[in-house]
Structure 1
């Protein structure tokens, strides 16, 4: 009968492990639940803010103002250029 005793012990260990994992997942869910409410909004902001910023104009700069224009460097790794 050692096999039935082993099977009983194995079943109890698996049962304990399953219950422990379920309780751990439940605890993590309860802790993270407030954040789950904000995740969709944060995801939208993560996508929409850069999309909006590419169309935003800098209101402090006027047309032809040399200080506001970004300098375009065609080859930043050209070390021989002066």
Structure 2
């Protein structure tokens, strides 16, 4: 999956990390009954709108992977 994702986003490491994060979170949820937590990049800690957008992108990505949003905990950076 890593090589495929790197090929998909050759010049965008943030997109690679996001896609791998969703993949790993989805795999964890196959093994547990609870929730998986996914953290919004701390670089967005002073950007409220950016944090919200990224959190919504994560939720949509999990849903696209077949994961109910009730099983996802989005963590945001607090400063």
TM-score of the aligned structures, taking structure 1 as reference length:
0.26
TM-score of the aligned structures, taking structure 2 as reference length:
0.27
- Pick 1 or 2: higher relative contact order, CA cutoff 8 A, min separation 6: 2
Q: Which has the larger radius of gyration?
A: 1
